[in-house]
Structure 1
Amino acid sequence: MRQIDAYCERTDPAFWAEPVNALTNAAFLLAAAVMWPRVRGLPLARALCVVLGLIGIGSFLFHSIATTWAAMADVLPILGFILLYLYVAHREFWGLGRWSALGLTAAFFPYAAATAPLFGLVPGLGSSAGYAPVALLIGLHALFLRRRAPATARGLALGAGLLAVSITFRSLDDPICAALPLGTHFMWHILNAVMLGWMIEVYRRHARRSAPL
């Protein structure tokens, strides 16, 4: 139940101390609602929509209650989305079997453990260094898929770019707090919601192109 004060907008432990950061989590719910009817017939995409909604709920809890357990409610759905999408990518984009896809998905943990400290050396990145390996990984998938599935590769590249911009806004929240008391973390929510919804759309379009005529 320890209180956490991690963002520019929060100035006290009150529930509504971060109203903009809290309310912009509706963008995740909106993105999930928009994508839900579009992915009918794709169970894994439907699961991604559910996790996307949970990201919005967990992040709302963190930016309102702002305790250690609420931070876990914020972080775990994000990790869940990353792992589920990696499994989808290995299965659908690369055509791997179930166990191979699961093994490569599990490899995300040592990959993140190895690369996050390197990104931590980048000046100004701060706590956002933990998310930078995800943008890099999406970009690598885009690079290596460019011949196998060029349209999907372009979609993933756009997703990586959106995430990079989103991470930039997250990183700026503390450094510019004195000049902008609202902070910039709310843009992380909005851009991330767009990016995650787009990543589900990339999968939907790939599945449609791959479906037998």
Structure 2
Amino acid sequence: MIKEVKDSGPIYTETNMGRFPVEPFNTFSNLIFLFIIIYWYRRLATLQQGRFARFLKVSLPILSIGYVGGSIYHATRSHPVWLFMDFVPIAILALYVAWYFWGQVIKTFWPKFLILLALFIIPRLVIRNLGLNMATGISLGYLSLSIPILFPVMWVEYKRGWKTWRWFLAVLSILVLAVNFRLADSSPWVIENFPVGTHWLWHITGGVMVQIFLLYIEKLEGSRG
């Protein structure tokens, strides 16, 4: 089994450069994001123009880039550009979601920008200085993307009487489960007993989380006033 990839990215349990797709389960599990993208583009055509519609018009293209990049990345492991197209859109989308919610808490640009920047950078600096292995560091990095989102969402929920808090709790719970699947892929037990690994379950649960989160935002906007 050939494990030397050409993109400087992490090695997964399923990685085998001697075949195509290099990571079959990791590649095809990414289709869940294509289904989500198609669903919300179809929904967008029926939505009245408003804040949620504008949110989708920005977020869906970013999600689409991540889907294409992630699929080619896992299928070929051939170039760093596909690796960047896999994870950079996730970070951009998380920052956009955080900006979207902070915009409902703080109206002036610079305080909002500086708070968001601090909540994005500080957790990542802490993780980097913990001396963790690559797999754990990356997984905790993904988890830390929820921090800039958590605070404004809690404030918005408080101001609106906690009408939709169960939805956001579901999103957080699935995120934790997804990150655990990502972490488990590099564990000795999984490597020895589960040849397809668990990274593909990170994709599946991550897709479920994204879908529920978008439904949550739509419901939250519907509860305004």
Settle same-fold status: TM greater than 0.5.
yes
Q: Which residue of the other structure, out of 190, 204, 209, is the alignment partner of 1:190?
A: 204
Partner residue of 1:25 out of 30, 40, 43: 30
TM-score calculated relative to the size of structure 1: 0.83
The answer for unaligned runs of 5 or more in structure 2 is: none
Distance verdict in 2 for CA 1:95–1:151, change over 3 Å: farther
Query: What residue in structure 2 maps to residue 156 of structure 1?
Result: 168
Decide whether the 8 Å contact of 1:146 with 1:154 is kept in 2: no
Distance 1:144 1:118, change over 3 A: farther
Which residue of the other structure, out of 2, 6, 9, is the alignment partner of 2:11? 6
What do the CA deviations read for 1:4-35 (whole angstroms, capped 9, x no partner)?
Answer: 46111112254412111111111111112222
Amino acid in structure 2 at the alignment position of 1:170: R
Partner AA of 2:97 in structure 1: Y
Q: 1 CA distance for matches of 2:165 and 2:87? A: 27
Q: Is the 8 A contact 1:138 1:156 kept in 2?
A: no
Alignment of 1:119-198 (within 5 A): 125-149=136-160, 150-175=162-187, 176-198=190-212
Deviation (angstroms), 1:145: 4.1
Shift of residue 172 of structure 1? 0.4
Query: What are structure 1's unaligned runs of at least 5 residues?
Result: none
Partner in structure 1 of residue 81 of structure 2:
69
- Determine if contact 2:41/2:60 at 8 Å carries over to the other structure: yes
| Aligned counterpart, 1:50 | 61
CA 1:118 to 1:159, structure 2 compared with 1: closer, same or farther past 3 Å? farther
**Partners in 2 of 1:200 and 1:99 — Cα distance?**
27
Number of residue pairs the alignment of both structures matches: 209
User: Once the two structures are aligned, what percentage of the paired residues are identical?
Assistant: 20
Shift of 1:78: 0.7
Report if the CA contact (8 A) 1:27-1:193 is conserved. yes
Give the CA deviation at 1:165.
Answer: 0.5
Does residue 38 of structure 1 match 2:43?
yes
- The TM-score with structure 2 as length reference comes to 0.79
| 8 Å contact from structure 1 (residues 16, 64) kept in 2 | yes
| 3-state SS of paired residue (1:183) | coil
Aligned to 1:106: 117
Distance 1:5 1:210 in 2: 43
